[in-house]
Amino acid sequence: MIARTPEKFRETGIDVQLNTEVLSVNYAGKTVELRNERNIPFDILVMATGARALLPDLPGIEKPGVFTLKNLEDAIKIKTYLQEKKCRKAIIIGAGFIAMEMSEALQQAGIQTTILHRGELPANRWDPELAKLLLEELKNNGVEFIPHAETTAIEDGKDYPLCALSNQGKIEADLILLAVGVKPNVELAKEIGLTIGQSGAIAVNSAQQTSKENVYAVGDCCESYHRVSKRPVNIPLGDIANKQGRVAGRNIGGKPLTFPGVVGAQSFRLFNLEAAATGIDEKEAALANYNPVSILVWGNAIIGSLGLKKIGLKLIADKSSGKLLGAQAVGFAGAVSRINSLSVALWAEMNIDEIAYLDLAYSPFFSGAWDIIHNAAQALRRAI
Amino acid sequence: MIARTPEKFRETGIDVQLNTEVLSVNYAGKTVELRNERNIPFDILVMATGARALLPDLPGIEKPGVFTLKNLEDAIKIKTYLQEKKCRKAIIIGAGFIAMEMSEALQQAGIQTTILHRGELPANRWDPELAKLLLEELKNNGVEFIPHAETTAIEDGKDYPLCALSNQGKIEADLILLAVGVKPNVELAKEIGLTIGQSGAIAVNSAQQTSKENVYAVGDCCESYHRVSKRPVNIPLGDIANKQGRVAGRNIGGKPLTFPGVVGAQSFRLFNLEAAATGIDEKEAALANYNPVSILVWGNAIIGSLGLKKIGLKLIADKSSGKLLGAQAVGFAGAVSRINSLSVALWAEMNIDEIAYLDLAYSPFFSGAWDIIHNAAQALRRAI
């Protein structure tokens, strides 16, 4: 899909106001007040305020060279800075999927990159055994990973412009990227009096309607119904935002459509590795009143005689019903493919006995005759 | 999975007789007669007689250098011949997935390969628009493809040992591979009086039991229940055989298990292309009393800014219910992944509206924010 330019929108009669800001919403009067003091009337209001990068409470984060990455403008700023300052060293604070993807991008651009992370392993969502493979891949590609690092301040450096202070010592760099998560932008929503869910994002129904009539919300600023936990969640991912946008548009335009919810599918690439996950983990499962049991199996994403494409797959199921609750995979091939198949299985509320005998497209280049999905489901059944 | 050697079986007390043949079965007397005149008694008999390559009715197919490929022994014979005769040219008669895979293997081994095919395009199961991409890939990799070729005889050649005569002229080669399909080995089953299904394979129930008590059948020689067409089919693929073998073993061993059937998932690789399909096509759908409608969309398996990985996806659905009936994909990435996701969707009897909003693991390296699965399902809905 190609994003439309403001001009394209204007050609279709849609008024696009850029470089402005909605200062307030007069819900009763049905107008929004812009920064340039212009008031715009509305019949229907769509909140698509997105999310913003979390800023850790660190002295020095206002220094030039300290960045967050949430949108295209951020990316352009970082790229410009990297080029203008001829950067050689970067520090990333955090180890989620944005940190992982940026470590690859920076390293590939010839910039020596160090990750400072509070935890022991990258990618919290993945099981430690799988995260170890990600850690190895970071190291094999020259990215330094410093675990148990509580960053305390950013100061000026001696050899480089910046210095990150942490309980693991001082590290200098040209650039510091703060990648410790995002939070939904709900200030305006709160002012209007929209209901904010437990997740901190705007509560919506399956038509993307908020608690106030004629006000919709879509994307990173709102919640989604999680089909596995049966709870509203805030998952700030572009594919979900796209779907919600279309659902809201259809409902506003008079062609009703329901947003069916999410199962929590997610993926990223890290050098030669694929990481993907779906559903919920043991902790989330317990909170959702399931009785979780899990297994992690290692295998080859293809037939062994064709080479080694190591893959690890973890399945989480409900012990009582055998129902699949979640899956996590990391591998040199096929991890995303497996997680997508299992996302559909989650969507359809399949149990592991059914998954153990699913008909998948077998070919030596893409799987074994027993796929790792089958092996994992059968192993989990034996474990139960 | 590593195949066990006969010795390994013998260690566990299982008697493995190799290089012999079952000449007949005395079902009433519960014995099988081996070629070496030894009779072996049985309580339970498992028919795992497999399938054999179809031999076209061609004069000259008995000549040295003419091969079929069904099992490991065939592969070893071909490999030995290729080396001993220092082959430079090969002809493949047929254009199914074995022909495709062998054309790649031969070409990669430096052997100039020509495919003679009755039809216009390779890979009958795939839509002509998708098959054209396979044809291009054959040509781009130096494989000659001669369509509309009815081979009439194999003779001795002048410059090469063999010559294939067809309505498209004479072509000489060192080796000719007959790859025109397989048929189940059911001679012995017929002698026992087992019911043979419409497909020509042994009829079984979901416990892999045949029509005679204490006789089971598994693998290429027997039928499988097709969950989409709701009919028994004979799909000779290794993954299905593995599952059926385990189901039979479990039932014989007193731990009942049901073979849940197939959806017809299949894949192969052709040089840089992935080809995969699942479910049924329009013709099969009409035979199964559906009202088929289909759409074929082209897209990119990854985000466009990361390069071009062209992929085509065809979806077939039932016009009345919107239920997905089948899918076919060919692409430079991601075709197998999409078909596996859709195989699970078929398994769960999803309709295209549900598929259009499935939560899949989006990441630029593996899909667009709207995956081609979503785009195709939405386009098909609009077409209906």
Q: How far is B39 from chain A (nearest CA, A)?
A: 34
* Inter-chain touch A237–B343, beta carbons under 8 Å: no
* Inter-chain touch B240–A278, beta carbons under 8 Å: no
* Inter-chain touch B344–A339, beta carbons under 8 Å: no
Per the CB < 8 A criterion, the answer to whether B369 and B250 are in contact is no
Mean pLDDT of B143-160: 98
CB atoms closer than 10 angstroms to residue A314? 22
Residue B63 in this model has a pLDDT that exceeds 70: yes
* Inter-chain touch B360–A239, beta carbons under 8 Å: yes
In this prediction, residue A10 carries a pLDDT of 76
* Inter-chain touch A369–B1, beta carbons under 8 Å: yes
| CATH number assigned to the domain with residue range B274-383, chosen from the 4 options 3.50.50.60, 2.40.110.10, 3.30.390.30, 3.40.50.300 | 3.30.390.30
Residue B2 in this model has a pLDDT that exceeds 50: no
Residues of chain B positioned with their CB less than 8 A from the CB of A227: 359
Residues of chain B positioned with their CB less than 8 A from the CB of A238: 362, 369
A-B CB pairs within 8 A amount to 156
Sheet arrangement for strand A89-93 = A66-68, A175-178, A89-93, A112-116, A144-146
Show the DSSP H helices in chain B as ranges. 6-11, 72-84, 97-108, 128-140, 187-192, 238-252, 282-287, 335-347, 352-355, 372-383
What are the structure tokens assigned to A4, written together?
């439309």
Query: Closest chain A residue to B239 measured between Cα atoms?
Result: A369
Residue A357 touches partner B, C-beta closer than 8 Å: yes
CATH 3.30.390.30 assigned to A275-383: yes
**pTM of model > 0.90:** yes
Residues of chain A positioned with their CB less than 8 A from the CB of B271: none
Interface test with B, best of A228, A363, A370 (most B CBs within 10 A): A363
Which of B282, B281, B276 lies closest to B312, judged by CA? B276
What are the structure tokens assigned to B42, written together?
């049985």
CATH 3.50.50.60 assigned to B185-262: yes
* Angle of the B97-108 helix axis to the B128-140 helix axis, nearest 10: 10
CATH code for the part of the protein at A66-180: 3.50.50.60
Query: Closest chain B residue to A236 measured between Cα atoms?
Result: B362
Residue A313 touches partner B, C-beta closer than 8 Å: no
What are the structure tokens assigned to A356, written together?
């153990």
Block residue for tokens 């999927």: A97
Which of A321, A164, A325 lies closest to A230, judged by CA? A325
Q: How far is A234 from chain B (nearest CA, A)?
A: 14
Mean pLDDT of B74-78: 96
* Inter-chain touch A242–B268, beta carbons under 8 Å: no
Write out pLDDT tens, residues A92-118.
999 999 999 999 999 999 999 999 999
In this prediction, residue B18 carries a pLDDT of 84
Helix (H, G, I), strand (E, B) or coil at A211: coil
Q: Quote the CA–CA distance of A80 and B97 in Å, as a whole number.
A: 50
* Inter-chain touch B362–A1, beta carbons under 8 Å: no
Per the CB < 8 A criterion, the answer to whether A40 and A32 are in contact is yes
Query: Closest chain B residue to A372 measured between Cα atoms?
Result: B1
DSSP B365: T
State ipTM. Answer: 0.95
Write out pLDDT tens, residues A214-242.
999 999 999 999 999 999 999 999 999 99
Torsion B115-B116-B122-B124 (CA) sign: negative
CATH 3.30.390.30 residue ranges of chain B are: 274-383
In this prediction, residue B118 carries a pLDDT of 96
Q: What is the DSSP string of A105-158?
A: HHHHTT-EEEEE-SSSSS-TTS-HHHHHHHHHHHHHTT-EEE-S--EEEEEE-S
A182-184/A51-53 β-pairing: antiparallel
B 225-254: CB under 8 A from A = 227, 237-243
Q: Quote the CA–CA distance of A340 and A346 in Å, as a whole number.
A: 10
A 314-343: CB under 8 A from B = 334, 336-337, 339-343
Helix (H, G, I), strand (E, B) or coil at B99: helix
* Inter-chain touch B357–A259, beta carbons under 8 Å: yes
Residues in chain A: 384
Q: Quote the CA–CA distance of A293 and A324 in Å, as a whole number.
A: 10
Task: List, in sequence order, every residue forming a beta bridge with B217; answer none if it has no partner.
Answer: B47
Block residue for tokens 């279709």: A12
| A19 or B248: which leads in pLDDT | B248
Residues of chain B positioned with their CB less than 8 A from the CB of A243: 357
What are the structure tokens assigned to A377, written together?
């489901």
Exposed, middle or buried: residue B245 (CB in 10 Å: 0-12, 13-18, 19+)? middle
Residues of chain B positioned with their CB less than 8 A from the CB of A269: 363, 365-366
The CA angle B216-B326-B181, to the nearest 5 degrees, is: 55
Helix (H, G, I), strand (E, B) or coil at B338: helix
In this prediction, residue B306 carries a pLDDT of 83
CB atoms closer than 10 angstroms to residue B214? 14
Per the CB < 8 A criterion, the answer to whether A97 and A103 are in contact is no
CB atoms closer than 10 angstroms to residue A191? 12
In this prediction, residue B373 carries a pLDDT of 98
* Inter-chain touch A267–B361, beta carbons under 8 Å: yes
Q: What share of chain A is helix, strand, coil (3-state, %, to 5)?
A: 30, 30, 45
* Inter-chain touch B354–A362, beta carbons under 8 Å: no
Q: Quote the CA–CA distance of A93 and A89 in Å, as a whole number.
A: 13
Q: In A228-349, at which residue ranges do the beta strands (DSSP E only) sit?
A: 231-233, 266-270, 273-279, 292-300, 310-318, 324-331
Q: What percent of chain B has pLDDT over 70?
A: 99
Superfamily (CATH) of domain B66-181: FAD/NAD(P)-binding domain (3.50.50.60)
Residue B3 touches partner A, C-beta closer than 8 Å: no
Query: Closest chain B residue to A239 measured between Cα atoms?
Result: B369
Write out pLDDT tens, residues A269-304.
999 999 999 999 999 999 999 999 999 999 998 888
Residues of chain B positioned with their CB less than 8 A from the CB of A341: 337, 340-341, 343-344
Mean pLDDT of B289-318: 94
Residue B1 in this model has a pLDDT that exceeds 50: no
Residue B37 in this model has a pLDDT that exceeds 80: no
Q: What type of residue sits at position A244? A: Q
Residue B352 in this model has a pLDDT that exceeds 60: yes
Residues of chain A positioned with their CB less than 8 A from the CB of B237: 362
* Inter-chain touch A348–B343, beta carbons under 8 Å: no
Q: How far is B63 from chain A (nearest CA, A)?
A: 31
Per the CB < 8 A criterion, the answer to whether B359 and A240 are in contact is yes
Query: Closest chain A residue to B354 measured between Cα atoms?
Result: A260
Q: What type of residue sits at position B161? A: P
Count the alpha carbons within 13 Å of B261 in the hemisphere toward its beta carbon: 17
Of A238, A341, A359, the CB nearest to B262: A359
Which of A345, A336, A371, A343 lies closest to B267, judged by CA? A371
What's the pLDDT band for A2 if we cut at 50, 70, 90? Answer: very low
In this prediction, residue A8 carries a pLDDT of 75
Q: What is the DSSP string of A151-195?
A: EEEEEE-SSSSEEEEETTEEEEESEEEE-S-EEE--HHHHHHTPP
Exposed, middle or buried: residue A1 (CB in 10 Å: 0-12, 13-18, 19+)? exposed
What is the residue-averaged pLDDT of chain A?
A: 95
CATH 3.50.50.60 residue ranges of chain A are: 20-50+183-252, 66-180
In this prediction, residue A1 carries a pLDDT of 34
Q: Quote the CA–CA distance of B218 and B203 in Å, as a whole number.
A: 10
Query: Closest chain A residue to B343 measured between Cα atoms?
Result: A360
Q: Quote the CA–CA distance of B328 and B332 in Å, as a whole number.
A: 14
Mean pLDDT lowest for which of A5-14, B192-201, B300-309? A5-14
A 63-122: CB under 8 A from B = none
Residues of chain A positioned with their CB less than 8 A from the CB of B274: 366
Query: Closest chain B residue to A337 measured between Cα atoms?
Result: B337
CATH 3.30.390.30 residue ranges of chain A are: 275-383
Residue B368 touches partner A, C-beta closer than 8 Å: yes
CATH 3.50.50.60 residue ranges of chain B are: 66-181, 185-262
CATH class assigned to A20-50+183-252? alpha beta
* Inter-chain touch A341–B336, beta carbons under 8 Å: no
In this prediction, residue A4 carries a pLDDT of 56
Query: Closest chain B residue to A328 measured between Cα atoms?
Result: B361
* Inter-chain touch B347–A368, beta carbons under 8 Å: no
**Region of B251 on the Ramachandran plot (φ > 0 left; ψ -120 to 50 alpha; else beta):** alpha
What's the pLDDT band for A36 if we cut at 50, 70, 90? Answer: confident
Q: Quote the CA–CA distance of B292 and A212 in Å, as a whole number.
A: 43
Residue B363 touches partner A, C-beta closer than 8 Å: yes
Q: How far is A361 from chain B (nearest CA, A)?
A: 4
